[in-house]
């Protein structure tokens, strides 16, 4: 039996049930009839051995040494789905069964329908001649191909561009094609991918997501196959960072690189200086490393010297902290992350406010994503992040309006000044509400509070009159001047009808202590409560959380209404 060329050793194949693999062996197997194909599956759990069968080794698997993996199997050739050339894929998508529409018979000697060189006509019921135009979908498939400047052929089982000139002569305007989507196809190595470059010299965007080819570890020699390529998408390609940067060396015009879901944990070896000398990355403006395996921020710092980097996508990794790498700056040298405007960090493991404060140190960062991190579990987090990071104009995909920033900064300032005030009291006497507020900080004392809130001074400078009022308040300094009058309204179903209650509470009372008060008034257990505050100007009530935050920090003002609801 003759094995087709797309199933030779080293080829990427897809079986009839949709599984992907690399061919490692073609030939006979002892005690078995016929020709067998030895494969290493992309999904190692699908395999039955490591390339050995019946005590004889037929091939090696690259994953065999990893945790005793057995990704190898033998399959019959007829179980392999045929792969195609680029030209064949184009014919299947655009030309299969679609022939140019033949022109109708000319002439006409008195019939109801008539066609001449100027067009086609029919006669109406009153004998008038009416011109008609036929709108045939893809009347000339070749003409349709000739208009395309972008080609989408994902998961088309393409394994090669064909012989030189084949892809360029398949009917596409090769010199005008700008976008080429080859995601999920079966090219075996970088050379098979690079073969598309000379066919489409004007290519700007190339998507090879899911193409798990054999990638080079050093830049391939020779001229660049993609001299004009500006966007390269290699998500789920299995490429390591070293392999990706080797490929970048062949793409001098590249501006955007996407390497999501590639299992990358490290960004090269050596120190920052060695990494920064890599000329292939000098023009990179956007880098996507989402859903990889990075844990240490020191790996991210290796990107600090990239002079053009503006967007960095790091969501879905395992990063636990953010720090600005000021320590790598050299006198007269480049400023670390000088042009970085967007730092996207959703779904990591960041759990400390120091990481949020560190965003202030990046000289140009104005857009941040932090959803899915432990530090953002509270509903009040958005206010605090906006207040802590001065240059933010967009947070978690939502623009920050001027009024939102002002409100957030005022709330934050009130809370921090309350902590300062409580810390001052705690320094002189223990116990009471002051000690409770100070205990929420890792250290006591005004200096410790100020160290935990580095924007405090700048906000006091901006809202000086407000800060004086918030910290001390006009008048005699009696306790009543630091009180809020609230209307407590119970809407919990289990409590029945309860009359609203007006109560005066300290500005520094926490949500948790307010819940205790509501339990006494309305007999709704604390752990069953959800508190919302409502102002006349608000469209919807706003949830008060977390329990250890002061209600004044969360925006509750004198005269506010508090709704006591039960958890669903």
Tell me, rounded to whole angstroms, the distance of Cα 194 from its chain centroid. 27
CATH dotted code for 5-79: 2.30.30.190
The domain spans of the chain are: 5-79, 143-403, 405-471, 482-566
d(CA 249, CA 301): 21
**What whole-number distance in Å separates Cα of residue 372 and Cα of residue 369?**
9
Confidence (pTM): 0.76
pLDDT 10s per residue in the chain (568 long)?
678 888 899 999 999 999 999 999 999 999 889 999 999 999 988 999 989 988 899 999 887 655 677 899 999 999 999 999 999 999 988 876 343 333 333 334 444 444 444 445 555 555 555 555 444 444 566 677 888 899 999 999 999 999 999 999 998 999 999 999 999 999 999 999 999 999 999 999 999 999 999 999 888 888 999 999 999 999 999 999 999 999 998 999 999 999 999 999 999 765 444 443 457 788 999 999 999 999 999 999 999 999 999 999 999 999 999 999 987 667 777 899 999 999 999 999 999 999 999 999 999 999 999 999 999 987 678 889 999 999 999 999 999 999 889 988 988 888 788 777 777 665 554 444 444 444 444 444 677 778 889 999 999 888 874 544 444 444 444 545 578 999 999 999 988 889 999 999 998 899 999 999 999 999 999 999 999 988 776 667 888 988 888 887 777 888 999 999 999 8
Query: Counting runs of H as helices and runs of E as strands, what totals does the chain give?
Result: 15, 27
Task: Encode 354-374: b = buried (16+ Cβ within 10 Å), e = exposed.
Answer: ebbbbbbebeebbbbbbebbe
Asked if residue 69 lies in contact with residue 60, where contact means CB atoms within 8 angstroms, the answer is no
On whether the CB atoms of residues 386 and 415 are closer than 8 A, the answer is: no
CATH code, 143-403: 3.80.10.10
- Pairing assessment for the beta strands 56-57 and 72-75 based on DSSP bridges: unpaired
CATH class of 482-566: alpha beta
Maximum Cα–Cα distance across the chain:
114
């Amino acid at each position: 039996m003759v094995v087709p060329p797309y199933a030779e050793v080293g080829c990427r194949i897809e079986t009839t049930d949709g599984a992907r693999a690399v061919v490692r062996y073609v030939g006979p197997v002892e005690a078995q009839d016929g020709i067998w194909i030895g494969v290493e599956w992309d999904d190692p759990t699908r395999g039955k051995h490591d390339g050995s069968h019946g005590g004889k080794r037929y091939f090696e698997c690259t994953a065999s040494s990893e945790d005793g993996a057995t990704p190898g199997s033998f399959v019959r050739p007829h179980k392999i789905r045929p792969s195609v050339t680029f030209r064949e894929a184009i014919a299947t998508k655009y030309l299969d069964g679609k022939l140019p529409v033949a022109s109708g018979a000319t002439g006409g000697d008195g019939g109801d329908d008539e066609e001449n060189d100027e067009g086609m006509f029919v006669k109406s019921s009153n004998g008038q001649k009416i011109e008609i135009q036929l709108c045939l979908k893809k009347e000339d498939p070749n003409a349709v191909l000739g208009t395309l400047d972008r080609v989408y052929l994902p998961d088309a089982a393409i394994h090669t561009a064909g012989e030189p000139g084949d892809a360029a002569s398949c009917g596409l305007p090769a010199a005008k094609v700008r976008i080429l989507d080859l995601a999920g196809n079966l090219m075996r190595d970088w050379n098979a991918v690079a073969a598309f470059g000379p066919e489409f010299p004007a290519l700007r965007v190339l998507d090879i997501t899911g193409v798990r080819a054999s990638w080079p570890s050093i830049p391939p020699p020779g001229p660049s196959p993609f001299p004009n390529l500006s966007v390269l998408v290699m998500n789920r390609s299995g490429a390591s960072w070293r392999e990706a940067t080797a490929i970048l060396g062949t793409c001098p015009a590249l501006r955007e690189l996407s390497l999501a879901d590639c299992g990358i944990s490290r960004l090269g070896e050596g120190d920052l200086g060695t990494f920064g000398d890599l000329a292939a990355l000098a023009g990179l403006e956007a880098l996507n490393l989402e859903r990889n395996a990075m844990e240490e921020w020191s790996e991210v710092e290796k990107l600090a010297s990239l002079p053009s980097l503006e967007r960095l996508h790091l969501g879905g990794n395992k990063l636990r902290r953010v720090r600005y790498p000021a320590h790598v700056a050299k006198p007269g040298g480049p400023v670390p992350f000088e042009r970085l405007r967007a730092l996207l960090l959703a779904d990591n493991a960041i759990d400390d406010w120091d990481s949020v404060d560190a965003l202030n140190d990046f000289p140009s960062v104005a857009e941040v994503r932090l959803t899915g991190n432990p530090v953002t579990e509270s509903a009040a987090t958005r206010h605090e992040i906006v207040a802590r990071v001065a240059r933010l104009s967009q947070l978690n995909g939502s623009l920050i309006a001027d009024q939102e920033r002002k409100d957030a900064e005022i709330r934050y300032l009130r809370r921090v000044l309350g902590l300062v005030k409580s810390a001052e009291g705690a320094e002189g006497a223990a116990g009471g509400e002051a000690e409770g507020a100070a205990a929420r900080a890792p250290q006591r004392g005004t200096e410790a509070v100020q160290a935990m809130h580095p924007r405090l001074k700048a906000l006091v400078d901006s809202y000086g009159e407000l800060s004086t009022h918030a910290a001390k308040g006009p008048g005699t300094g009696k306790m009543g001047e630091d009180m809020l009058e609230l209307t407590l309204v119970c809407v919990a179903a289990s409590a029945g009808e309860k009359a609203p209650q007006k109560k005066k509470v300290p500005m520094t009372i926490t949500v948790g202590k307010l819940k205790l008060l509501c339990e006494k008034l309305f007999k709704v257990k604390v752990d069953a409560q959800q508190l919302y505050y409502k102002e006349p100007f608000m469209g919807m009530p706003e949830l008060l959380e977390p329990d250890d935050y002061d209600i004044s920090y969360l925006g509750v003002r004198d005269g506010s209404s508090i709704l006591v609801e039960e958890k669903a």
